Each structure stands twice: as C-alpha cells, then as structure tokens.
Amino acid sequence: MKSELLVDAILFDMDGVLLDSRPVVERTWRRWAARHRVPVEPILRVAHGRRTWDTLREAVPELATREEVDWLDAAELEDFDGIRPIPGARELLQALPAARWTIVTSAGRELAARRLAAVGLELPDSAVSSEAITRGKPAPDGYQLAASRLGANPQACLVVEDAPPGIQAGKSAGARVLALTTTHAAEQLGRADLILPDLTSVRVLAGQSRLSGICIVTELSSFPHS
C-alpha cells in the first residue's frame, strides 16, 4: 500500500540513517571501555543517537570529562573501516531539492564530513552538528535549528531517525518522524509515525508538489493524518 506525505523539508539524522557506522562506533567504545576496565554493554545500549558527552553522562557519569570526550572523538576520526551507505540513501538525496533537506547529527562537524565522504556523500552547509547546540538529542534543539536554517516550520518537516533519542527530539520539535530499523528493533521505535527497514521504499514525486511542499511516497503503511 502506498501512502503520501507533504512536507516542506526533510531533516535527516546521519549515523544509522544515511550511513552505517556501527562497526566504528562499537570498536571505539570497546577500546575506551577496556582502557578504563568498565563494562561496555551498558554504554552501547545508549550510545547510538547521542553525542559522546551525553553518552558518557548517561552511562558512566564519573568519567564524563572533556579529556575522555576528546580521546573518543580523536579515535573515531582515525577509523572509517566498514562504514557503508544505508540502502536508498544516495538515491533519495539525489531526488531532493538541495535547499529542502539537511542533516542533524550528534557527531562533530569534521567527523560528519569525513564519514559522509567515505560513502560518497557531502555534508550540507546547513547541517547541524554537535558543536552547534547546547542540548543534544533527545532535546529538540538540533531539529529546531535545522528547520530554521532551511526557512521551514518544524511542524511541516519530516525527521528521519533510527534511535529513540532522535525520535523523541523530532517529536518534541513538532515534526513527523520516519524511523529506520537499522540500529534498533521496531518495538524500540514506537513513537515514530512510520517505521521502515531502510530508505529503498521512499520516493519523492518530482513535479507533484502543491503549495511549497515536497511529496514523499512510501510503499508501506500510512503516515497518520495531521
């Protein structure tokens, strides 16, 4: 069954939405946990979709220092092995008008640019990275700022996410949320308006927009009505 959604802009998370960086993220956290002889599994349960600083404060607050954040960030900047694009990501971005989409990521700007380059994509100038905001996901600040940079109302945007903190951020900003089951099971993404395995079933109807909107078509369940 096909469904359509009219939006003014699309705000993409990066890791787990446009590219799969799980091998790097998990290797880095395992190395860091081994250095400090702390269990890694509690960290990995909350690491996806959060800034490094916020992950440390959530999982191991006693080690949430600038020095540790710098070590983790530097380690990720040296490791791009195994990063690959999410199916359908390149095709969807190519079909969208450049001024109608951007990225909201918990990564730093340099890391985001390098990871995207590793899969043949570019970081748009309008992207919101971790340095641009005081409060990371699940706070709505990143998505609100991204919508503002595109001249859009957050309530007229579609957020594409893969993790509960990002879904909460998108919903708190007032946006509709499409979630991908690339890093979490569907039952963990229950606040999303629509859940898909990847981006291969998402299409943009060129020339089918009305007012200023862009029409997004999926081949699975419907978005709820506004």
Report the 10 Å Cβ neighbour count for 157.
26
For residue 225, which amino acid is it?
H
Q: Where are the beta strands (DSSP E) in the chain?
A: 3-7, 9-12, 19-20, 84-85, 101-103, 157-161, 176-180, 194-196, 202-204, 214-218
What is the phi/psi pair of residue 62, to 5°?
-70, -15
Structure tokens that stand for 26 in this block: 């998990």
Active-site residue 54, yes or no? Answer: no
Catalytic annotation present for 198? no
Q: What is the DSSP letter of 156?
A: G
Catalytic residue chosen out of the listed positions 8, 15, 20, 73: 15
Residue of 8, 13, 141, 193 with catalytic role: 13
Catalytic positions, please? Answer: 13, 15
